[in-house]
Amino acid sequence: MSDKKIGIVGIGKAGINIVSTLHNLRQAQHFTLMAIDTDKESLQQSPITETNKLLLGNDWRQGNGCGGDMTAGGRVFSHERSKLNQFLGGYDLLFFAGGLGRGTASGGVSIIASELSKMKIPAIFVLTLPFVMEGPAKNRAAENILKSEIHERNNVIITIPNDLLFSKLDSNCTLNEAFELSNIEVAKSLLALALCFSGGNLLAANYADLLEIVAQKKHFAAIGIGTASAKDGENRFNRALEKMLMSPLLGGLDKLQEADALIVSLIGGNSLGAADTKYLLEKVNSFVGENTNLAVNFSTNEDFGESIMLSVIAIKFDKSAMEDKIFTQQIPTTPSSKKRRNDKDNGQASLDLVFNERGIFEKTNINYHEGVDLDIPAYQRKNINLK
């Protein structure tokens, strides 16, 4: 394992439930499991080590949580920035889990992202979106958080719709069972990511590459995890692949075929070889599109023995939002242009020009850098009026 100091942090009750699921897993012992909440009871019920728990806003909220009020949660985090800095400082990489909608995580993620940016600590946020059955208010709140400044902090944000679980849920499944399954699947995904970035001694994943892949402000992710052991014999690689494709949070093979970006990780014991990694990568590649952006990690970990774990994060960008932003904006109307259009002596019909046209690059792939299409001339992007 790497010498990097890596922490996995649960924010709010949903996030703490996810991270607590990792407590008894042998592969998670190399990472520091942590919890942050405004609810004292939620922290007490978690098996995470007491010194790795942080209760915020106790003087104001008396340890009773924020009552589903994300504004209150945001205020608590904002007022307790110094405690956050002390609690999170000193790590090389941090992973966060939380459920968006309303409450502590919804109010706190932007503040956490801001403080980590100041401390120059890279972070990966894995945030679940509410089930549709939880109501439109929660879903609107989650959408608003994703439109906030959290994306401006150079952090990796991976959002997972809980509704992906419905492809695997039994029709008689209770809501509690659905949330429990979500916790298990997201926990396995967090562990796979942490192992992926803790050191790949065959082919290492790079944080900067991942940051570039998910640089788009709006995207959704589907996650597939497949494991196999020695009892699967020589067929273990195909077995891991089958389980990955059947993962509840992947939502089926279509998610791989439609993905704009794919993060692939294979981890096994010391017997894992180059031929095995090549075989599985070719298999995964056969399911994805030609233009899919790939980030890969293959590594060995003695804790796995003869077992292997294949994980895939399929990322789909919201192209409709991108097109609205890039192609439909129009040149601002200036007083002089109004005068020209209203001048009856002009004798020429006005033509409303579409802003940000790509010219000869119209049919090529878009070259994005920090959310900007570089094929659009700078004077158009900056609204400079050329006379």
The verdict on 313 and 326 lying in the same domain is no
Beta bridge partners of 317: 219
CA distances from 3 to 19, 194, 309, 351 (A): 21, 13, 21, 62
Answer yes or no: do 306 and 335 share one domain. Answer: no
Rounded CA gap, 9 and 34, in Å?
5
pLDDT of residue 362: 47
* Helical H segments across the chain, by residue range: 12-20, 40-45, 58-61, 70-79, 81-88, 104-119, 136-146, 175-197, 207-213, 236-245, 253-258, 274-285, 319-327, 335-342, 378-381
The tokens describing 385, both together, are 């009026």
Q: For residue 328, what pLDDT is reported?
A: 32
Domain contains 205: no
pLDDT score for 151: 57
The answer to whether residue 32 sits within a structural domain is: yes
Q: Are residues 276 and 171 in the same domain?
A: no
Structural contact between residues 181 and 239, judged by C-beta atoms closer than 8 angstroms: no
pLDDT of the residue at 320: 59
Domain containing residue 253: 221-317
242 and 364 housed in the same domain = no
CATH number for the domain including 243?
3.30.1330.20
- Exposed, middle or buried by CB within 10 Å (0-12, 13-18, 19+), for 3? exposed
Q: Which residues contact 344 (CB under 8 A, 6 or more apart)?
A: none
Look at residue 36 in the predicted model and tell me its pLDDT. 95
117 plus 158 within the same structural domain:
yes
Tell me the C-alpha distance between 27 and 78, whole Å.
34
Q: Are residues 306 and 349 in the same domain?
A: no
Residue 270 forms part of a structural domain: yes
pLDDT given for residue 272 in this prediction: 79
pLDDT digit string (tens) for the chain, length 387 residues: 567 789 999 999 989 999 999 988 888 888 999 999 999 999 999 999 999 999 998 888 777 887 777 788 788 898 999 999 999 999 988 999 998 887 888 888 889 988 988 898 888 888 888 877 777 888 787 777 776 656 555 567 788 887 877 766 777 778 788 778 888 888 888 888 888 777 655 555 566 666 666 655 566 778 888 999 888 887 888 999 999 998 877 878 888 888 888 888 888 888 777 787 788 888 888 888 778 887 777 778 888 888 889 988 888 877 655 443 333 333 334 444 444 444 444 444 433 333 344 444 444 445 545 555 555 555 455 555 544
Q: pTM for the complete prediction?
A: 0.72
Place of tokens 């979106």: 129
pLDDT for position 372: 55
Say yes or no: 18 and 95 in one domain. yes
Same domain, 42 and 154: yes
Instruction: Tell me whether residue 313 is in a domain.
Output: yes
> What is the total count of domains within the chain?
3
Q: Are 20 and 149 contained in the same domain?
A: yes
206 in any annotated domain: no
Report yes or no on 261 lying in a domain.
yes
Are residues 141 and 251 located together in one domain of the fold? no
Whether residue 1 lies inside any domain: the answer is no
Place of tokens 């394992």: 1
- Whether 93 maps to a domain, the answer reads yes
- Residue among 210, 217, 68 nearest 130 (CA): 68
Task: Answer yes or no: do 270 and 367 share one domain.
Answer: no
Please report the pLDDT score of residue 341 as a whole number: 45
Q: What's residue 349's pLDDT?
A: 40
Residues 238 and 194 in one domain: no
- Cβ partners under 8 Å of residue 118, min gap 6: none
pLDDT for position 152: 55
The pLDDT of residue 324: 38
